[in-house]
Amino acid sequence: MAAERAVVVIKETTPRRSRRAAARLGLPDRAPLSPTSVQGVEEHEADELEELTRSAGAQVVGRLVQRSPSIDPRYLIGSGKAMELREMCRSQTIDMVVFNAELSPAQTQHLEAMLGVKVIDRTQLILDIFAQRARSREGQLQVELAQLRYLLPRLTGQGVLLSRLGGGIGTRGPGETKLEVDRRRIRQRIRMLEREIDQVARTRSVHRARRLREAVPLVALVGYTNAGKSTVFNALTGAGVDARDRLFATLDPTIRYVTLPHKTTIALSDTVGFVRRLPHALVAAFKATLEEVRHAHCLVHIIDRSHPEWRAQTASVERVLDELDVAATPRVRVHNKLDRVTEGVVHTGAGRAGVAQGDGQTVVRLSALTGEGLDDLIDAIEKAVGSGLARYRLTIPAERGDLFAQLHAHGRVLRCAPGRGGMVMDVELTDQAIRQWGEQWAPFFVADRHTAVRRAVTRAG
């Protein structure tokens, strides 16, 4: 089946200067701002919308950009621009028009009547991509819920004239119309999906409680779509999840246990990618999945440092994280894809692997594809989850072979020699190991042992 031919439309609302600012600058009253101030933003938005459209399976054959200080309530872009778009659709045999702005139901209806082709907005496009990518039952439920919530106010018919439920003169008739039946069924389906997703959330909470009992910290990879989260995830875990160079390659979250060099075990989560102006319907529907981000002990924010709009993408992700109320969660920023960074920024340090500090956060520069800088990321994660090493001395009775095994499995044994009462062991232990096993090891700490383990447990907790 041939791909649908699509045109993307960018509507950029340019503000006008105030009277006072215009007078101060010696410009005509209410003069519009120069288009050069927003042209770069338009280009990047158009590029992203084209990439989203291609990800949905359509062929992009053109784009239309309009800068205007106002929004037309009927066509969004105004009747003149709509007629220009109609001629473009006819001359290039267009099947679909994609708008970067969210369209009202009335605007969609008027545009489709004017253009004679299918019209969708950015939210509907992203929902379609998510529907294609969802593989797990959980992902499919969440996408369907978001789609139905988006669809419900957009169901159209002949309005209140066909309604026969109100009673009184002029309202008696055949009963429910097809439109009302559809709306009722959609509401019923939404309630059923919400119940199923609540069950998913309860299941996740059980798994989360088990990790907490085992003192395993959760580290969540977050970031803009196609920033390289799955490539980083594969490099750290060897999981082999889909890491193709495309938008929203990962939709269903994946968690793997990873043992770091200092014997710290973490649960690493690869989450769904964010995008500029992420539809609120998706944020609400994916609440169960995003709960993993809320409960993470550490967030690793993956940034595509090679992208020309990496700062804007970073800001978009930060806004979504603010909505999730995770400002207090320890965070590591990762500038990924150094292998693609242009030579012109190397002298600033941006193109070299390493660790830096910025805005109170640790910034790790790496290339997940080549592996350069991954060791720095591992060290940064260990520090962020509070897994600082401390040295302890224990005397283990000869008959307690189980303790020998635990100390070798969860710590770094520096010295082991026969002594009074058993084997004397010098061991480096992480905060995580102390949280999990400290009370069991407490009787065997040498010299002020109870004070040592109590201090260690207090710090670790």
pLDDT band for 345, please (50, 70, 90 cuts): very low
User: Is the C-alpha dihedral spanning 60, 65, 71, 74 positive or negative?
Assistant: negative
Q: Give the per-residue pLDDT at 187.
A: 92
Q: pLDDT averaged over the chain?
A: 77
Mean pLDDT within 207-236? 82
> What single DSSP character describes residue 305?
T
Residues 6+ apart with CB under 8 A from 451: none
User: How far apart are alpha carbons 382 and 395 in whole angstroms?
Assistant: 28
User: How far apart are alpha carbons 103 and 238 in whole angstroms?
Assistant: 42
pLDDT band for 174, please (50, 70, 90 cuts): low
Residues 6+ apart with CB under 8 A from 381: 219, 260, 266, 298, 300, 332
Predicted model pTM: 0.70
Q: Is the pLDDT of residue 86 over 90?
A: yes
**Closest to 10 measured CA to CA, from 62, 87, 79:** 62
Higher pLDDT, 282 or 80: 80
Bridge partner residues of 119 (DSSP): 97
Domain ranges in the chain are 5-128, 135-196, 215-384, 390-460
pLDDT band for 342, please (50, 70, 90 cuts): low
Least confidently predicted of 156-165, 211-220, 232-241? 156-165
Q: Give the per-residue pLDDT at 357.
A: 67
The three-class DSSP label of residue 62 is strand
Mean pLDDT within 430-455? 68
Mean pLDDT within 428-457? 68
Mean pLDDT within 309-313? 88
Q: Give the per-residue pLDDT at 189.
A: 93
**Closest to 460 measured CA to CA, from 425, 424, 432, 420:** 432
Task: Give kind and range of the element (H or E) at residue 316.
Answer: helix 310-323
- In the CATH scheme, what architecture does the domain 5-128 have? 3-Layer(aba) Sandwich (3.40)
Least confidently predicted of 81-85, 119-123, 156-160, 385-389? 156-160
Mean pLDDT within 27-53? 60
Mean pLDDT within 51-73? 86
pLDDT band for 168, please (50, 70, 90 cuts): very low
Mean pLDDT within 359-371? 84
Q: Tell how strand 422-429 and strand 411-419 pair up.
A: antiparallel
Q: What's the one-letter identity of residue 232?
A: V
Any idea how long the chain is? 461
pLDDT band for 115, please (50, 70, 90 cuts): very high
Residues 6+ apart with CB under 8 A from 228: 243, 302, 304, 336, 337, 368, 369
% of residues, the chain, pLDDT over 70: 74
CATH classification (class only), 390-460: alpha beta
355 is written with which tokens?
């660790």
* Per-residue model confidence as pLDDT tens digits over 3-38: 788 888 887 765 554 445 445 444 444 333 333 334
362 is written with which tokens?
């640790």
Classify domain 215-384 at the CATH superfamily level. P-loop containing nucleotide triphosphate hydrolases (3.40.50.300)
Question: Identical fold at 5-128 and 215-384?
Answer: yes
* CB-based burial label for 123 (10 Å; 0-12, 13-18, 19+): buried
pLDDT band for 214, please (50, 70, 90 cuts): low
Residues 6+ apart with CB under 8 A from 219: 266, 267, 268, 269, 296, 297, 298, 299, 300, 381, 384, 385
Mean pLDDT within 194-200? 87
